[in-house]
Amino acid sequence: MRAFPISNWTELDVWRYIARERIALPSLYLAHEREVFRRDGMWWAVNEHARPREDEPVERRVVRYRTVGDASCTGAVESDAATVDQVVAEVARSTLTERGATRADDRISEAAMEDRKKNGYF
């Protein structure tokens, strides 16, 4: 049997913990300008795993990542939250979960993340 206690935390719980403990984060989690393209309602960063199609123009936008998987299944969101405190405030105001906003897996199957856990992804 495997247990994932942090799985019961909300995104806001995680960010409040990060703020309280003053945990250093990679800049990926904070807003900065990137080259992105729109696909399936999400902003995808241009990288070796995600390339725009001919009908998907590349734009420079200020975005951050609300969740981090790999480049093939995680999208960015437009955001100007450049500090942890700004992220906490932004998440507290949000009415859309990180799963609904940025995880391509969840558009394939409601149980996609659970399937990944069963298969040893974590």
pLDDT per residue as tens digits for the range 92-102: 987 765 555 55
Strands 42-45 and 59-64, sheet pairing: unpaired
Q: Are 100 and 68 spatial neighbours (Cβ–Cβ below 8 Å)?
A: no
Q: In this model, does residue 87 exceed pLDDT 70?
A: yes
Q: Give pLDDT tens digits for 68-86.
A: 666 667 888 889 999 999 9
Q: In this model, does residue 89 exceed pLDDT 80?
A: yes
Instruction: Tell me the three state secondary structure of residue 64.
Output: strand
Q: Give pLDDT tens digits for 4-55.
A: 666 778 888 989 999 999 999 888 789 999 999 998 888 888 988 889 999 9
